[in-house]
Chain A
């Protein structure tokens, strides 16, 4: 049973970079698309982007200029970096395993990130 364990700070200052890591255990990173999805408090789901195990990425056009996704297959880890954050980036952030078409079968536990000085 694959497990996704997220880590990273829960508080980021405005204009700084949000950085989160997702460590995959119980399964390989290979042959899957790994999505990052966020959910502002009380609001709906927003796809940030995904990365294939080979390193190929696809981003949400609305976030593309601020987002970088990366993968370290030797550590079975995925990373999200979102720069120049504002209060609007305050949200629960999830990593998830899925396919090219976005359907997912496993999610991380979520990391609540607040952007505040």
Chain B
């Protein structure tokens, strides 16, 4: 089965840049979607198809994907960005696969 690996936690000071990685075998050949889940809420897509942003998502959220690592970058981090973030891909053998999630803490 296809496995996506995320760091359990990332911490960042307000106004700085947070980078959350998602590792997978040749993930660069797949489309990666990123979800934000705030405490007690339903997940929301913040980046899809590697680097596209749904309407309503701030430009501070961006994504990249190459080789064995996809990255979600959050610029000028704000307190409201504190949440769990999940990467997700589709794999021909496993179907839809989620990473284990990364808890972003804004210091």
Contact = CB atoms under 8 A, between A and B. Distances in A.
Chain A, interface residues (CB within 8 Å), range:
20 to 34
Given A60-B94, A110-B42, 8 more contacts: A44-B86, A45-B35, A60-B96, A61-B93, A62-B1, A101-B33, A101-B49, A102-B95
A106 to B, nearest CB: 9
Interface in B34-51: 35, 37, 42-43, 45, 48-49
Interface of A: 35, 44-47, 49-50, 58-62, 94, 100-105, 107-110
Nearest to B101: A44
A110 to B, nearest CB: 6
Chain B, interface residues (CB within 8 Å), range:
20 to 34
Nearest to A46: B98
A35 B101 CA distance: 19
A37 B48 CA distance: 18
Contacts of A47: 95-98
Contact of B90 (A45, A46, A100, A108): A100
A105 B54 contact: yes
